[in-house]
Amino acid sequence: SAVISQKPSRDICQRGTSLTIQCQVDSQVTMMFWYRQQPGQSLTLIATANQGSEATYESGFVIDKFPISRPNLTFSTLTVSNMSPEDSSIYLCSVFGDRATGELFFGEGSRLTVL
């Protein structure tokens, strides 16, 4: 299985600021996925990041709020812009664990608290 490293692992941010989360994978992958887990809730897909193309966002998520970069096949960033306390969540990067079955492998997540 892939090794996924996310930075930062946790951070405390001020309202109105932006934070960029980095995701590094130890192997080349075509697709990377960003999920959000709000406190006490389940996971929701934010967007799919393909190398060389614009990210595809799910309903309720927009590029202005969550810009994503995918400069190469092992790296992606997710920025949470103009943060509010409602953005306090765990943000998880994931890749296919088994492409044939849609199984995903998740990183440890980045826990953001917005004051």
Paired strand residues for 21:
78
Amino acid, res. 106: F
Spell out, one character per residue from 13 to 32, where the chain touches another protein: x when CB under 8 A holds, - when not. ------------------x-
Beta carbon nearer to another protein, 46 or 80: 46
Supply the minimum distance, in Å, between the C-beta of residue 82 and another protein: 26
Residues present in the chain in total: 115
By CB under 8 A, tell whether 41 contacts another protein.
yes
By CB under 8 A, tell whether 101 contacts another protein.
yes
Paired strand residues for 77:
22, 69
**Looking at 18-26, 60-68, 75-83, 98-106, which segment touches another protein (CB under 8 A)?**
98-106
DSSP state of 58: P
Beta carbon nearer to another protein, 9 or 82: 9
Cα–Cα distance measured from residue 2 to residue 52, given in angstroms and rounded to the nearest whole number? 21
* 44 phi, psi to nearest 5 deg: -130, 135
